[in-house]
Structure 1
Amino acid sequence: MALDVYVGSLTRYYAGAWENLAETTARKLGAPRPAGSGKLIDATQSQDQIRPKVIAWRTKLAKALGERVDALLDWDETEAARWFTHRPGWDGFGSLVIWAAYAENPTLRAPETLPEEWDDDIALARSTADGFRSRYSHLVRNVEMWLPVAFEITFEGDDVDGRRVVMGSVTTLRRQLADLNAATWKASADEIAAWGQMPPERRTVEGCARYAFSLLTDLAQRAHAERLPMKLDH
């Protein structure tokens, strides 16, 4: 199953008025849309219908969080809001999560390639254990949506469709990604950008992690600059 990361209004996301990279490529080549794709290309009316639901969800979420998040949950949900997407894939995203877990558990030896059941990895289990203060909490704690607001906690709640997901902060994710680079690769901005030009030929944990790191760093920067949510799509 593919894994894409979307940045933009949640209205556009739930209306399906965006394309992942496979859909964009198929459209440009005049090929049929990839199997399983139900997204719309022009969904102006659908966005008008969905927007009130998103705004109501955001208001309810703010009330539920109360003082746990000392920031206003507010961002652009109009059709004018820009949107962006990349496809790190599960190999890339999983490798990045594992790389972060081993970075803060240095007594453990990281695997060369991503295990099939990587979410059961011992270092990841330590990083997500109760009471462990992870330096990379907004990456390793199974977060599926990052809100464009500054806060330190991660929390579980209903998304717009009522599905339980873990949410975090775009601001904190950006900082933690920078911390991960400083603790491990110490790569320059140009080097990081180059990592995302194409998936690595050798599917090592570090190679795939670098690729996903480049894509997520770019998207988190865009989400921060545009003040928009960032969300996994799978």
Structure 2
Amino acid sequence: MALDVYVGPLTRYYAGAWESAAETAARKRGAPRPAGSGEATGAARSQDQIRPKVLAWRAVLAKALGDRVDAPLDWGETETAPWFTHRPGWDGFGSLVLWAAYAENPSLRMPTVLPEDWDDDVALARSTSDGFRSRFSHLVRNVELWLPVAFEITFEGEDVDGRRVVMGSVTTLRRQLADLNAAIWKASAADIATWGRMPPEQRTVQGCARYAFALLADLAKRADAERLPMKLDY
């Protein structure tokens, strides 16, 4: 199953008025969009119909969070707001999550390649256990939706479609990605850009983690600058 990361208005996302990096490449080659993808199947809905639902969801969420978030829970939900996407894939995203978990559990030995059941990994279990103060909490705690507001907590709640998901902060994720780089790789901006140009041929945890890191760091930077949500799509 593919894993994309979307940055942009949630109205556009739920309207299906966006396309993944793979769909963009296929369109440029003249290939039809695959079945089940947004506008190709007529599934895209009017953004004007969806926007009130998104705004109502955001208002309920803001009320539930109360004073746990200092800044207003607000961002652009217009059709003119920009949007961005990358495809780290599950191999890349899972490898990055494990890389962060092992970075804060150095006594454990990290696997060379990503295990099929990586979400049951012992280092990840430690990083997400009760009472463990993870340095990379907005990456390792199964977050699916990052909001463009600065806060330290992660929390579970309903998304726009009523699914229970874990949410975090774009700003905090961006800082924690920078902390991960500073602690482990100490890579320059030029090095990181090189990592993100193409998936690694050797599917090692480190190679896949670097690739995903470059893509997520880029998206988190854009989301922070444009004050837009960031969401996993799978």
Deviates more, 1:27-36 or 1:142-151: 27-36
Does structure 2 conserve the Cα–Cα contact (< 8 Å) formed by 1:7 and 1:223? yes
Does structure 2 conserve the Cα–Cα contact (< 8 Å) formed by 1:196 and 1:211? yes
Structure 2 spans left out of the alignment, 5+ residues: none
Deviation for aligned residue 1:197: 0.2
Deviation for aligned residue 1:43: 9.3
Q: Which amino acid aligns with 1:84?
A: F
Q: 1:75 — aligned with what?
A: 75
Q: Give the length in aligned residue pairs.
A: 234
**C-alpha separation between the residues in 2 aligned to 1:11 and 1:199?**
30
Q: 2:48 — aligned with what?
A: 48
SS in 2 for 1:184: helix
Q: Deviations over 1:19-67 (max 9, x none)?
A: 1012112211121212432346999971000000000000000001111
Q: 2:123 — aligned with what?
A: 123
Q: CA RMSD in A?
A: 1.5
> 2:202 matched to 1:205?
no
SS in 1 for 2:51: helix
Q: Which amino acid aligns with 1:76?
A: G
* Residue correspondence of structure 1 range 176-187 to structure 2 within 5 A: 176-187=176-187
Against the structure 1 CA distance between its residues 63 and 38, is the aligned structure 2 distance closer, same or farther, given a 3 Å change threshold?
same
**C-alpha separation between the residues in 2 aligned to 1:83 and 1:25?**
16
SS in 2 for 1:231: strand
SS in 2 for 1:5: strand
Q: Which amino acid aligns with 1:172?
A: T
Q: Deviations over 1:119-155 (max 9, x none)?
A: 0000000000000000000000000000000000000
Q: Deviations over 1:55-107 (max 9, x none)?
A: 00000000011112122100000111000000000000000000000000000
**C-alpha separation between the residues in 1 aligned to 2:16 and 2:44?**
10
Q: 2:28 — aligned with what?
A: 28
Does structure 2 conserve the Cα–Cα contact (< 8 Å) formed by 1:96 and 1:209? yes
Against the structure 1 CA distance between its residues 120 and 188, is the aligned structure 2 distance closer, same or farther, given a 3 Å change threshold?
same
**C-alpha separation between the residues in 2 aligned to 1:59 and 1:146?**
16
Structure 1 spans left out of the alignment, 5+ residues: none
**C-alpha separation between the residues in 1 aligned to 2:185 and 2:90?**
21
Q: 1:61 — aligned with what?
A: 61
Q: Percent identity?
A: 82
SS in 2 for 1:91: helix
Does structure 1 conserve the Cα–Cα contact (< 8 Å) formed by 2:147 and 2:167? yes
* Residue correspondence of structure 1 range 1-234 to structure 2 within 5 A: 1-39=1-39, 46-234=46-234
**TM-score, length of structure 2 as denominator length:** 0.97
Q: Which amino acid aligns with 2:151?
A: F
Q: Deviations over 1:214-233 (max 9, x none)?
A: 00000000000100000000
Deviates more, 1:199-208 or 1:18-27: 18-27
Q: Which amino acid aligns with 1:223?
A: A
